[in-house]
Structure formats: structure tokens, C-alpha cells
Amino acid sequence: MGGFTPIEGGRTLDQFGGTFGRRFGMEKRFGFCWGAAYDHNNRGIDDVEAVPGVFDFGTATASDFEPCVFGCGDP
């Protein structure tokens, strides 16, 4: 199975899987099963992470916050 995603100019996607099994012995009572899968996702990511810095934003005090229940404030 393959695919295409349009992020960052286009990326390909591939996924394959397979299973193989066999019974053996005089009465076919024993066996094994082997499986494998491959998943290649060439997905781009637009992720912005916060980075620790040296900025001092001051100390928050109780007067900086006001109680709020679900649905209060601007929508």
C-alpha cells in the first residue's frame, strides 16, 4: 500500500506487511508463524516547541488570577 501527502511539497508513504506459517510433524501438530511489517511515513511536521530561556516574566500573585468556571469570559 502506498500514498502521498501534500505537506511540505509532497511526501510519499509506504506500508507493507506479511505473514508466513507452516505446520510440520507426523500429524501436523507443530508449527510456527512468522510475521513482519514495514511502515515508512515520510511525514513533515510543523512543530514549534517551547525552549527554556533567561526571560524573567516576574512572579505571579493571587491578584493576577480570577476564578472562572466553565463557560465564563470571552468565547
Which residues have CB under 8 Å from 21's CB, separation 6+? 31, 32, 33, 34
Rounded alpha-carbon distances, angstroms, from residue 47 to 3, 4, 28, 29, 43: 22, 20, 54, 53, 12
CA 11 to CA 20: how far, in whole Å?
A: 31
Cα–Cα distance for residue pair 12/63, rounded to 1 Å: 52
**What does the pLDDT read at residue 54?**
72
Residue 22: predicted pLDDT: 94
In the prediction, which pLDDT does 13 show? 79
What is the spatial distance between Cα 65 and Cα 40, in angstroms, rounded to a whole number?
A: 47
Task: Give pLDDT, residue 60.
Answer: 67
pTM of the model as a whole: 0.41
Instruction: Please list the ranges in the chain whose pLDDT falls under 70.
Output: 1, 4-9, 43-46, 56, 60-67, 69-75
